[in-house]
Amino acid sequence: MIPERNLMATSGLDEEQQRTWISTITDMLNEGPRVILRLPKIRQCIVAHPEPFRWYSGRRIELELLLLMRMNRLAICMDENGEIDHTDAIWQALVRRINEVLTDVGMRMIMEGSRVTNAQAIFDRILM
């Protein structure tokens, strides 16, 4: 806020309209990232094409769970020197499934016209 540039004072709104404006802005700030759903084109896209959003959301949730499981397994597979036993069957299964999820997402992104092919970039975009 810049005190000398008070948009509220110069808006020409009466007190009731200003209170409504302040309430709306406060609600939007409290809503956080979900505020984007107030944008008509975004809402229309979600309503018109829910399947891709559901699919990507499912992959993201699965990936987050796999990463949590891998983090827990890391504590079990680590020796006193901090070395990880990469031969552990559960560790290998988790890593394999993480790679499968990233491959699935990468293939779908390519089919939908994305130029992102780097597994790390896909990983970063999923977990944004």
Shortest CA distance to 16 belongs to which of 6, 4, 24?
24
Distance CA 3, CA 15 (A): 18
Same domain, 83 and 102: yes
Kindly report, residue by residue over 16-67, the tens digit of the pLDDT.
888 888 888 888 888 887 787 778 887 777 777 778 878 888 999 999 999 9
User: For residue 8, is pLDDT > 90?
Assistant: no
Kindly report, residue by residue over 72-109, the tens digit of the pLDDT.
999 888 888 888 888 889 999 999 999 999 999 999 88
Annotate 73-90 with b (16+ C-beta within 10 A) or e (fewer): beeebeeeeeeeeeeeee
Give this prediction's pTM: 0.62
Residue 5 located in a structural domain? no
Residue 95 located in a structural domain? yes
Same domain, 119 and 62: yes
User: What is the span of the domain harbouring residue 24?
Assistant: 14-48
